[in-house]
């Protein structure tokens, strides 16, 4: 048996899906989080039958006439795969909008049971619904649900009702003659007239079943808050303050406080293993286990508490509805530089992980805008980059919070700047697109949902540390221990190791950026496998077992030691951070770019653009930073300016070529 | 003997990591340890639907 969950965006489909199947699919308090169908099996505690019941979560849709790609997926599934029952999730606080789609689902003849979700909010809104009349008027079953609750949420009854109506014929409350339906497929005016009639029917039904004490048109507190939070000029500084607070708590106060205990455990484990091995184990094996595995992985995992606190806070922000406002604030900037209004969704998702962010670009219809968004989304610092941000902001800057906040804003600035360049290079005229996003109501964020989201990310982080990072660190340790003749490299001769010989040519290119050491180059290279590897590799090559001092709640030696070991100035450290954040993402994300761009020219062009952006930005940060702090430019300025100049010249040439493509030739007008 | 034990532990650790990665890749996981990074749940028909848009 197959049950499809269909409904308007942000009606709570994925929350219901997770509750029914026990899945942990991404939910968000804003429209457009689900972009493809998800399939799960109904939990046995809800299943009244002996057979397995498949639950299919479909992307949100306002109508069966597809306007967006998500609506196309929903329509295609419902019509072509013919589920046994459709559970139509309806926002009980907004029936006028939701029941339009319900009437269209009822037309299909597939049994429909309507989940009147968010019914807990009706009391708050002083709204009373006559569910009995609603059932009679709509000719289908209605069940009150609150998908976010764990007890008395109505889900048992919902499933029982769905199973009971399976196989029955569905009546339709709004009759449209089949000839008229056929005609509407070819004539937009007929379709519009039918839609208006359908809306009038829904309005009339809602008027008869709903008793509101509060007028819809009255300005609510939410409207007043939105006028400030989503203001076109105030919105950005407010977002800056919010992010600064988030980073302050996660990277400066609560995060390091929790990390202190955690790193203490890792240290204790390291010492325990070291003592247990004593001198009886070969130095090669012991250094591989201690420095490569425990030290390298431990250095990365040591940042777990900071990341958990950060993601917990970001989940709270998303759940309370604030991130949807940020999307609205950013939307107007992105549209001006030739991106789709929808481009903001992949970018917000990309703050968690670039891969689902890049995958979310498939909802953008315009090919150039979709590819440009896929190319620029990795500029938003993702979760994997957070340990790198935490390490450098903590080790080199006493007030760590501004560094993380600045990196987010720098990412946004690079996206805007990059979009302006790409639109010129492609030579396509900037077409303004319109993006209507329904703002979810503000609500008190759920601690449980935020905790689950945080634990989900923590689990993923530990899995990555125990697999990819573990293997990479071991490989780095082996490559650092041996030379090309597979002889053990003596102490002080590390520059003859395999790792040093591979990384050194790259390190030369990085001298103008302030970090020409082979160790730093090697860490940047391993970062392309997974960005957390930058921290792990630095721990292995510099022999630092942890970056967080358990005694003083500060990074090793109070900020000075890490800087001394790495031989970096503050400007060079910031440049190194910028280079790692804004050069191409990890290989998995590049694979996602390849899948969504569907064009090798765009893919390689995108990678080159990301590489150039990271290099140029790091060069500017290092040279300007050095000039400001010491009064003179940094090392390698002349070769660096030549390389950067060549990159800029290449981009300008491509932009001019694109401009010539945009301007139509006079002959074309005559023709 | 101590060397053998440590060698065994290392083989176990690396072997488990490799087996996990291979299994995950076979299941269609695009990125190991990335939350919501898209398991390959769509059928080929879905790909066609997405491609046509």
Q: For position A641, what pLDDT does the model report?
A: 95
Q: Are A591 and B10 within 8 A, CB to CB? A: no
For residue A623, pLDDT beyond 90? yes
> Could you tell me which chain A residue has the CA closest to the CA of B17?
A467
Cα end-to-end distance, chain B, whole Å: 63
Domain count along chain B: 1
Query: Does some domain include residue A670?
Result: no
Range of the domain at B26: 2-52
**Domain endpoint, select from A179, A212, A245:** A212
Of A73, A293, A355, the CB nearest to B37: A355
- Written as one string, the DSSP assignment of A269-323 is HHHHHHHHHTTSS-HHHHHIIIIIIIIHHHHHHTTHHHHHHHHHHHHHHHHHTHH
Q: For position A611, what pLDDT does the model report?
A: 95
Task: Give residue ranges of B with CB < 8 Å to any A CB.
Answer: 2-3, 6-7, 9-10, 13-14, 17-18, 20-21, 30-38, 41-42, 45-46, 49-50, 53
Q: Are B53 and A365 within 8 A, CB to CB? A: yes
Shortest Cα–Cα distance, A456 to chain B (Å): 7
Chain B contacts in chain A segment 379-418 (CB below 8 A): 383-384
Q: Are B46 and A36 within 8 A, CB to CB? A: yes
pTM of the model: 0.75
Q: For position A251, what pLDDT does the model report?
A: 78
Shortest Cα–Cα distance, A353 to chain B (Å): 7
Q: Are B31 and A353 within 8 A, CB to CB? A: yes
List the one residue out of A565, A610, A623, A552 whose CA is nearest residue A583: A610
pLDDT digits (tens, 9 = 90+) for B8-46: 999 999 999 999 999 988 888 877 877 765 543 333 333
Q: Are B41 and A592 within 8 A, CB to CB? A: no
Residue A637, sorted as left (phi over 0), alpha (psi -120 to 50) or beta, turns out to be alpha
Q: Are residues A575 and A647 in the same domain?
A: yes
pLDDT digits (tens, 9 = 90+) for A76-113: 788 788 889 999 999 888 888 889 889 888 888 889 99
pLDDT digits (tens, 9 = 90+) for A579-588: 999 999 988 8
Shortest Cα–Cα distance, A469 to chain B (Å): 10
Q: In the predicted model, what is the mean pLDDT of residues A117-141?
A: 85
Q: Are residues A420 and A366 in the same domain?
A: yes
Q: In the predicted model, what is the mean pLDDT of residues A640-660?
A: 92
Read off the pLDDT band of A325 (50, 70, 90): confident
Q: Are residues A636 and A579 in the same domain?
A: yes
Which positions in chain A touch B22 (Cβ < 8 Å)? none
Of A69, A277, A359, the CB nearest to B6: A277
Percent above pLDDT 90 for chain A: 22
Q: For position A429, what pLDDT does the model report?
A: 64
Q: For position A505, what pLDDT does the model report?
A: 92
Q: For position A212, what pLDDT does the model report?
A: 76
Q: Are residues A313 and A206 in the same domain?
A: no
Q: Are A285 and B18 within 8 A, CB to CB? A: no
Residue A57 phi/psi, 5-degree rounding, is -90, 120
Kindly report which listed range (A155-159, A540-544, B5-9) carries the lowest average pLDDT score.
Answer: A540-544
Query: Does some domain include residue A671?
Result: no
Range of the domain at A626: 235-660
Q: In the predicted model, what is the mean pLDDT of residues A595-608?
A: 91
Query: Does some domain include residue A224?
Result: no
Read off the pLDDT band of A179 (50, 70, 90): low
> Could you tell me which chain B residue has the CA closest to the CA of A24?
B36
A 10 A CB-CB count for A668 gives 8
Q: In the predicted model, what is the mean pLDDT of residues A236-241?
A: 89
B31 vs A245, residue with greater confidence: A245
Q: In the predicted model, what is the mean pLDDT of residues A267-291?
A: 87
For residue A554, pLDDT beyond 60? no
Q: Are residues A189 and A291 in the same domain?
A: no
For residue A406, pLDDT beyond 60? yes
Q: Helices A401-426 & A235-247, crossing angle to 10 degrees?
A: 130
Which positions in chain B touch A592 (Cβ < 8 Å)? 30-31, 37-38
**Domain endpoint, select from A155, A179, A212:** A212
Q: Are residues A300 and A195 in the same domain?
A: no
Q: For position B48, what pLDDT does the model report?
A: 31
A657 vs A176, residue with greater confidence: A657
pLDDT digits (tens, 9 = 90+) for A433-444: 656 666 777 888
Q: Are A285 and B10 within 8 A, CB to CB? A: yes
Percent above pLDDT 70 for chain A: 88
Of A80, A383, A471, the CB nearest to B14: A471
A53: domain CATH number is: 3.40.50.300
For residue A557, pLDDT beyond 60? no
For residue A34, pLDDT beyond 80? no
Q: Are residues A173 and A252 in the same domain?
A: no
Q: Are residues A262 and A191 in the same domain?
A: no
Structure tokens at A213: 């004490």
- Residue A601 buriedness (CB in 10 A; 0-12 / 13-18 / 19+): exposed
Q: In the predicted model, what is the mean pLDDT of residues A172-197?
A: 72
Q: Average pLDDT over chain A, rounded to whole?
A: 83
Q: Are residues A83 and A192 in the same domain?
A: yes
* Most A-contacting residue of B13, B28, B34 (CB-CB within 10 A), to test interface: B34
Query: Does some domain include residue A185?
Result: yes
Q: For position B52, what pLDDT does the model report?
A: 29
Structure tokens at A13: 């489909």
A551 vs A658, residue with greater confidence: A658
Distances from the Cα of A180 to the Cαs of A187, A190, A202, in angstroms? Answer: 10, 8, 19
Q: Are B31 and A589 within 8 A, CB to CB? A: yes
Query: Does some domain include residue A667?
Result: no
Rg of chain B, C-alpha, whole Å: 18
Read off the pLDDT band of A185 (50, 70, 90): low
Distance CA A496, CA A484 (A): 8
Q: Are residues A6 and A118 in the same domain?
A: yes
Q: Are A471 and B18 within 8 A, CB to CB? A: yes
Which positions in chain A touch B41 (Cβ < 8 Å)? 36-39
Q: Are A588 and B13 within 8 A, CB to CB? A: no
A73 touches chain B (CB under 8 A): yes
Query: Does some domain include residue A82?
Result: yes
Q: Are residues A96 and A163 in the same domain?
A: yes
Structure tokens at A188: 């937009």
């Amino acid at each position: 048996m197959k049950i499809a969950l269909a409904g308007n965006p942000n009606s709570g489909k994925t929350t219901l899906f997770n509750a029914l199947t026990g899945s942990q699919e991404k939910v968000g308090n804003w429209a457009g989080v689900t972009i493809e169908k998800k399939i799960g099996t109904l939990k046995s505690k809800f299943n009244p039958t002996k057979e397995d019941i498949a639950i299919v979560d479909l992307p949100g849709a306002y109508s069966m006439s597809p306007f967006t790609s998500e609506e196309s997926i929903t329509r295609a599934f419902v019509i072509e795969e013919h589920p046994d029952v459709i559970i139509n999730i309806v926002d009980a606080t907004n029936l006028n909008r939701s029941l339009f789609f319900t009437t269209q689902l009822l037309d299909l003849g597939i049994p429909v049971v309507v989940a009147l979700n968010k019914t807990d909010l009706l009391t708050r809104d002083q709204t009373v619904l006559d569910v009995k009349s609603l059932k009679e008027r709509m000719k289908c079953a209605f069940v009150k649900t609150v998908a976010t609750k764990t007890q008395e949420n109505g889900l048992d009854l919902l499933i029982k009702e769905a199973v009971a109506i399976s196989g029955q014929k569905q009546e339709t409350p709004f009759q449209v003659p089949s000839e008229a339906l056929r005609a509407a497929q070819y004539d937009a005016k007929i379709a519009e007239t039918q839609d208006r009639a359908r809306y009038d029917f829904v309005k009339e039904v809602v008027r008869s079943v709903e008793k509101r004490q509060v007028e819809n048109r009255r300005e609510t507190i939410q409207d007043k808050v939105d006028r400030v939070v989503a203001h076109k000029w105030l919105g950005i500084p407010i977002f800056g303050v919010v992010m600064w607070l988030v980073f302050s708590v996660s990277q400066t106060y609560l995060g390091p406080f929790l990390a202190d205990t955690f790193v203490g455990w890792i240290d204790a484990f390291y010492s325990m293993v070291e003592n247990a091995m004593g001198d009886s184990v070969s130095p090669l094996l012991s250094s591989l286990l201690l420095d490569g595995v425990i030290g390298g992985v431990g250095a990365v995992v040591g940042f777990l508490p900071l990341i958990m606190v950060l993601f917990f806070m970001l989940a709270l922000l998303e759940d309370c509805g604030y991130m949807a406002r940020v999307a609205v604030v950013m939307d107007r900037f992105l549209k001006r530089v030739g991106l789709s209004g929808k481009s903001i969704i992949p970018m917000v998702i990309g703050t968690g992980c670039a891969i689902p962010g890049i995958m979310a670009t498939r909802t953008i219809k315009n090919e150039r805008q979709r590819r440009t968004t896929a190319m620029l989304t990795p500029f938003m610092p993702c979760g994997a980059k957070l340990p790198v941000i935490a390490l450098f902001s903590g080790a080199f800057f006493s007030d760590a919070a501004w560094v993380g906040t600045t990196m987010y804003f720098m990412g946004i600035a690079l996206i805007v700047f990059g979009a302006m360049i790409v639109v010129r290079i492609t030579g396509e005229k900037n077409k303004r697109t319109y993006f209507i996003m329904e703002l979810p109501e503000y609500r008190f964020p759920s601690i449980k949902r935020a905790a689950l989201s945080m634990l989900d990310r923590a689990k993923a982080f530990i899995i990555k540390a125990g697999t990819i990072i573990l293997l990479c660190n071991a490989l780095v340790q082996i490559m650092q221990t041996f030379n090309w003749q597979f002889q053990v490299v003596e102490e002080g001769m590390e520059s003859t190791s395999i790792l040093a010989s591979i990384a050194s040519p790259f390190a030369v290119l990085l001298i103008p950026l302030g970090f020409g050491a082979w160790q730093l180059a090697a860490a940047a290279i391993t970062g392309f496998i997974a960005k957390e590897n930058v921290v792990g590799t630095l721990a292995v090559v510099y022999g630092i077992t942890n970056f967080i001092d358990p005694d003083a709640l500060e990074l090793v030696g109070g900020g000075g030691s890490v800087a001394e070991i790495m031989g970096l100035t503050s400007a060079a450290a910031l440049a190194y951070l910028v280079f790692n954040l804004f050069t191409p993402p990890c290989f998995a994300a590049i694979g996602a770019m390849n899948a969504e761009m569907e064009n090798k020219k765009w893919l390689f062009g995108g990678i080159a653009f990301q590489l150039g952006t990271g290099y140029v930005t790091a060069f500017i940060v290092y040279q300007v930073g050095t000039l400001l702090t010491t009064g003179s430019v940094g090392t390698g300025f002349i070769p660096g300016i030549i390389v950067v100049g060549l990159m800029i010249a290449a981009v300008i040439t491509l932009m001019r070529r694109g401009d010539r493509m945009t301007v139509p030739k006079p002959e074309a007008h005559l023709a | 003997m101590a060397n053998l034990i440590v060698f065994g532990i290392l083989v176990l650790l690396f072997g488990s990591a490799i087996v996990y990665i291979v299994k995950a890749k076979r299941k269609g996981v695009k990125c190991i340890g990335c939350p919501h990074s898209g398991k390959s749940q769509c059928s080929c028909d879905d790909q066609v639907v997405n491609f046509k848009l």
